[in-house]
Structure 1
């Protein structure tokens, strides 16, 4: 399968509003009526508690991780070939056609994409950066923006000295811009 097909699969997977559907089908509510109005896992927690939050978060994560992992393992893709897929999943989530072009903030799916790209390495770093930024510069939206800007700087530097493939730096820049946009009101 080519890059175009894998990118379409990643975009389709990312567009599936799984947390929203858990709210609809399992809880019988529109989770966008809770918290920040987002159709993501955190509003599943607000609507239904931890029991439903954990599966919602896991599914949102997996819809980013699985297509990338499959493209790497089955499709044999790497480097720049993964860039469009890495962008398609969170973009699909942020602009879900299932929700009339209105999606979520794309944090869990972005973590999933990075897990598909780098296993645990970058998601662990992202989590640490987000936690530190949230502690030093709340609220969540600002912390996400700061964490992603730092991650992009680190990956640009790492690719400049040969420690990371340049496609990872480009992906981090793309994800930074997307998360700045999805968190613009936070």
Structure 2
């Protein structure tokens, strides 16, 4: 039990790494939480600092979830011999249980990071990495949806919500229409995670419906002081 708690704590601390805060400080010398929506996540970084900084933050947040669900869980499974003990609920494989719980703790760490006074992001990028480590096909489809909507609308929040919504849908299509084996527990888990992430985007959804959500800058443009001042005024 202590070994499991240690592994989950490591995953949480991994998720707590404040990627957007570090990139904001290095890229523009600012605290990203003091600009734009005030959220320490990928969407606000794209909006305030532009594509380059946003892409770096997305990659780092993605890796937090992927490393926790794929690497930390596998290392823990071998190191602590979890397969020989009943750590998972009835009907669950120990390795699958570890992948899900480690990845989920990384997402929780990202949303409520102890390394940033528990003020984190909304978890979409970290959850994407976590789910890629668990089942890559369906999350790759959602990632493609994210890219298409981001490039076509320049609303990262809309892309995040839409891609998140379609993730459990993709799993259902794979299982019931394409005859690709997907464990039912993963579908249920995906639906729960998607619901939580969409709920965390409720303020973005409200602004999208009101037509007041901010777009990110075009790929070739660089964020300047005028954009930062505008973003700060919207906070």
TM-score (norm 1): 0.78
Structure 2 CA distance for partners of 1:67 and 1:101, relative to 1, 3 Å: same
Please give the secondary structure, in 1, of the residue aligned with 2:141: helix
- Mind listing any 5+ residue stretches in structure 1 that lack a counterpart? none
Aligned length: 185
Q: Does 1:95 align with 2:96?
A: no
- 1:94·1:106 contact (CA, 8 Å) conserved in 2? yes
| Aligned partner of 1:166 among 177, 180, 184 | 184
Residue 149 of structure 1 is matched in structure 2 by 165
Mapped partners of 2:51, 2:155: distance in 1: 22
Matched, 1:126 2:127: no
Judged with a 3 Å threshold, the aligned counterparts in structure 2 of structure 1 residues 175 and 138 are, in CA distance, closer, same or farther, namely farther
In 2, the alpha carbon distance for the partners of 1:56 and 1:137 equals 20
Contact (CA 8 Å) 1:20, 1:44: kept in 2 or not? no
* Deviation, structure 1 residue 23: 1.0
What does residue 10 of structure 2 align with?
Answer: 9
State whether residues 124 and 164 of structure 2, in contact with CA within 8 Å, keep that contact through their aligned partners in structure 1: no
Residues 79-113 of structure 1 show CA distances to partners (whole Å, capped at 9, x for unaligned) of: 22322222211121112233332211212111111
Aligned partner of 2:57 in structure 1 is: 56
Per the alignment, residue 30 of structure 2 pairs with 29
Give the TM-score normalised by structure 2.
0.64
Moved more, 73-82 or 54-63: 73-82
Indicate the SS of the match to 2:118.
coil
> Distance in 1 between the 2:98 and 2:64 partners?
19
Q: Equivalents in 2 of 1:138, 1:21: separation in Å?
A: 24
Distance 1:136 1:26 in 2: 26
Contact 1:11/1:91 (<8 A) preserved: yes
CA shift for structure 1 position 31: 1.3
Question: How large is the RMSD of aligned CA atoms in angstroms?
Answer: 3.1
Instruction: Give, in whole Å, the separation in 1 of the partners of 2:10 and 2:175.
Output: 28
Structure exhibiting the larger radius of gyration computed from Cα positions: 2
Residues 64 and 111, structure 1, Cα contact 8 Å, conserved in 2:
yes
2:16 and 2:113 in contact (8 A); partners too: yes
1:181 corresponds to: 199
Cα-to-partner distance string for 1:19-55 (whole Å, 9 max, x where unaligned): 1122124421011233322212343344444443333
